[in-house]
A and B are shown apart, each in its own frame.
Chain A
Amino acid sequence: MTAVGDSDSRRSEHRSLADRAIRAALLHFVAATAALGLVGYAYVYTFLIDAPIHSDGVSYYVYLPAWIGDGDPTFETLARDCCGGFTADPIGIHRWPETKRWLAVHPIGVAILMLPFFLVAHALSWWSNLPRDGFSFYYQYVVGAAGLAYVAAGLALLRQLLLRHFSEAVVLATLVTIAFGTNLFHYAVYDGTFSHAFSFFLIVSLLLLADLWWEAPGWPTSIGLSVVAALIVLVRHPNAMFLAFVPLYGVRRSSDLASNLHRLWQRRGLVTAMIGMTMCGVAPQLAVYKWATTHWIVKSDPDGRFTFASPHLFGTLFSVERGVFFWSPVLLFAVAGLWVARGWARGWVAVTVAVLLANTYLMASWYMWYFGVGYGHRAYVDALGVFGIYLAAFFAWAAERPRVATAVRTVTAALVVLSVLQTMQYWTGVIPGEKTTWDQYRALFLRVR
């Protein structure tokens, strides 16, 4: 009896120690990831590439140097003087043929979210007597870190959301997997001025606020939800489809939909105010379009087009060139999570499937379905918060089945390590930026150089 008692007490002590370790790891996870991100950021921009504000990042950012740096929202000054060494076109503005006015390829949302970082860089540039041109030293390195800051904030919010519904161990495993088992870390550090880090933060915010709003629809939550909804549209217009997560909260069957509509009708004053606030938030973008083109809604990318009749579905999902599940295979566990999800997570399965399918069809129909140079399929970074919910649902399901749990732990750990290694391979140029073939992939597999 004593031996059994000792063993029980030892087991309980181990469990208590493990619980404390998990709690501590969960508490410090975001700070540790941000610190690691800063180390990666310093490494990348000291040894690997020149400027954090590069490629698409320039065209998302140009509003700030033009509007604040030059004090010229027409972009004329920027077009004339731009921009710290870039050649033509990558600055992402083009003259609208009819009006001859400049229009940026990308919308204003990322620039709005970068604004605090820009102002810090602007103040530092003034203080140190550096050029206040929007592209000199402080702008590059302070604004360039904005993506990392928003990813860290997004991870903190994802932790808060998941802790409301899952155990600490499951939440920790999910955060580690989302941060390092996918291309999120890359788009936080290396390409942190692209839109994806910002969209990740906003969509996680939307999920958390929607969860809180349906529970208790106070004004602070309603205003927060409206602001986030507007920013989601302002950062990347197609992401407006993620707003469906709000009205379709908890909808499993048609009767749930009727119930949600009834509850929305009961809150109609608040809902009307929220729609109004969201429209006000989006209005500046519409004003920009109207001024530049005389149209309220425009196709701002002159080369962009959709090929809806021939979407590259396999390429987008599974190809070596860019497939999301090829480069982040651990996300297949999230797909499995859609089947095994229970309780709260089950309530979002229908809307998740609908939004991810629509999003996939849209991205696969984009003429540049592989989204140019990049690591993994970058358009899915925006939705990693949604994947996180079903990854957690899958881990929670597996945790109740000891044999499955061991296998899932092993495979997940291996896939996270593989993802980290492949990220490093991409950073150091071992893996090509685009058009990777299976033969290339096999030849380069796990090669350091």
Chain B
Amino acid sequence: MTGIRSLAAVALAAALAAAAIYLHDPPWVGSLTSGLRPRETDAHGATFRWTTGRASFFVPSDATVMTLQLRPGAPLSKTPVTVDVNVDDRRLATIELPDPLHPDPDRWVLTSLPLPRRATSRRFRRVDLRVHRWLDQFHLGVQLGAIELKRP
């Protein structure tokens, strides 16, 4: 009985260790997003997703440059809409979207950002967007278009 229990304990510990190793760099995170509404298509056929105040997605860790397409929604405040971009919890850039009161709905703001070259053991880096709008009772952020990546 003691032998079986010891074996079970060892098997459980091994399973937990294997799960921990697997979950440290799970292959499926690449397709995960958080804080992004379902995909939409605009009048020009461009696809985009609305962010909320915060949005996260993943990019392959070997990507060297990421180009974001962003545009604000309807004019709601004269305070400029700014988007903080963080990669793996480190600040990469702050993007300001122009003309808060008269945004051009057809114009994307394209920003190319070099990604950190720090070595990582993970397959993906996490990109967090934080949108500053300072509006109560309104949880849409900005429109996020296609994300272009430069990889070696």
A residues engaging B (CB < 8 A)? 79-89, 91, 95, 124, 127-131, 133, 135-137
Given A86-B139, A128-B29, answer yes or no on A133-B24 (Cβ-Cβ < 8 Å): no
Set B37, B52, B88, B122: member contacting A81, Cβ < 8 A: B52
Report B91 CB to chain A, min CB distance, Å: 15
For the complex formed, measure the closest distance between the CB of A18 and the CB atoms of chain B, giving whole angstroms: 30
B130 CB-CB contact with A under 8 Å: yes
Q: A80-B134, A95-B136, A135-B35 are in contact. Are A129 and B29 (CB under 8 A)?
A: yes
Query: Which residues of chain B come closer than 8 Å to A124, judged between CB atoms?
Result: 23
Please give, as numbers and ranges, the residues of chain B lying within 8 Å of A83 by CB-CB distance: 35, 52, 139
Give residues in B with beta carbon < 8 Å to A.
Answer: 20, 23-26, 29, 32, 34-37, 52-54, 56, 88, 122, 124, 126, 128, 130-134, 136-140
> Assuming A81-B54, A83-B52, A84-B34, is B88 touching A129 (CB within 8 A)?
yes
Known pairs A82-B52, A131-B126; A136 contacts B23 (CB<8 A): no
Additional 14 contacts, C-beta under 8 A, given A83-B52, A128-B29: A80-B134, A83-B139, A87-B139, A128-B26, A129-B88, A129-B122, A129-B126, A130-B29, A130-B56, A130-B126, A131-B34, A131-B35, A133-B34, A137-B32
CA distance A122 to B47 in the complex (A): 32
Contacts of A136 in B (CB 8 A): 32, 34, 56
Residue of B nearest to A139 (CB): B34
Distance A81 CA – B35 CA, assembled complex (angstroms): 9
In angstroms, Cα B140 to Cα A82, docked, is: 9
Query: For residue B127, which residue of chain A has the nearest CB?
Result: A131
Report B2 CB to chain A, min CB distance, Å: 23
- Distance of A124 Cα from B134 Cα, bound (Å): 31
Offer 30 A-B interface pairs, CB within 8 angstroms, sorted by A.
A80-B53, A80-B132, A81-B130, A82-B52, A82-B53, A83-B52, A84-B35, A84-B52, A85-B35, A85-B36, A86-B52, A86-B139, A87-B139, A91-B139, A128-B24, A129-B88, A129-B122, A129-B126, A130-B29, A130-B32, A130-B34, A130-B56, A130-B126, A131-B34, A131-B35, A133-B54, A135-B34, A135-B35, A136-B32, A136-B56
Give the CA-CA distance A95 to B140 in the complex, in Å. Answer: 19
Q: Which residues of B contact A127 (CB under 8 A)?
A: 20, 23-24
Output the least CB separation between A120 and chain B (Å).
12
* Residues in chain A near residue B20, CB distance under 8 A: 127
Provide the residues of chain B in CB contact with A89, threshold 8 Å.
137
CB-CB under 8 A from B54, the residues of chain A are: 81, 131, 133
B136 interface neighbour in A79, A133, A137, Cβ under 8 Å: A79
Residue contact A85 to B88, C-beta cutoff 8 Å:
no
Is B128 within 8 A of A131, CB to CB?
Answer: yes
Query: A residues within 8 A CB of B37?
Result: 85
| Chain A hits for B88, CB < 8 A | 129
CB distance from B142 to the nearest CB of A (A): 13
Tell me the complex Cα distance, A444–B100, Å. 52
Q: Is there an interface contact between A133 and B35, defined as CB atoms closer than 8 Å?
A: yes
A61 to chain B, nearest CB (A): 15
Determine if B139 and A82 form an interchain contact, defined as CB atoms under 8 angstroms apart.
yes
In the assembly, what is the distance between CA of A136 and CA of B54, in Å? 11
The chain B residue sitting closest to A128, CB to CB, is B23
Shortest distance in angstroms between A193's beta carbon and chain B's nearest beta carbon?
17
> Measured between C-beta atoms, what is the minimum distance from B121 to chain A in Å?
10
- Whole-angstrom CA separation of A183 from B20 in the bound complex: 36
CA distance A152 to B122 in the complex (A): 37
State whether A133 and B126 are in contact (beta carbons under 8 Å apart), knowing that A85-B35, A128-B23 are contacts in the complex.
no
B53: chain A residues at CB < 8 Å are 80-82
Give the CA-CA distance A249 to B121 in the complex, in Å: 61
Residue of A nearest to B124 (CB): A129
- How far is the CB of A23 from the nearest CB of chain B, in Å? 22
How distant is B72 from chain A, measured CB to nearest CB, in Å? 16
Complex Cα distance A83/B36, Å? 9
Q: Distance (Å) between the CB of A402 and the closest chain B CB?
A: 44
In Å, the complex CA distance between A317 and B52 comes to: 41
User: Which residue of A88, A95, A129, A130 contacts B139 across the interface (Cβ within 8 Å)?
Assistant: A88
Q: List the A side residues contacting B25 at CB < 8 Å.
A: 128
Q: How far is the CB of B36 from chain A (nearest CB, A)?
A: 7
Taking CB atoms, residues of chain B closer than 8 Å to A131 are 34-35, 54, 56, 126, 128
CA of A33 to CA of B82 in the docked complex: distance in angstroms? 50
Which residues of A are found within 8 Å of B137, using beta-carbon distances?
Answer: 88-89
Q: In the assembled complex, how far is the CB of residue B11 from the closest CB belonging to chain A, in whole angstroms? A: 19
Give the docked Cα–Cα distance between A91 and B139 (Å). Answer: 10
Measured CA separation A85–B37 after assembly (Å): 5
Residues of B within 8 A of A91 (CB): 139
Among A85, A95, A128, A129, which residue has its beta carbon within 8 angstroms of that of B52? A85
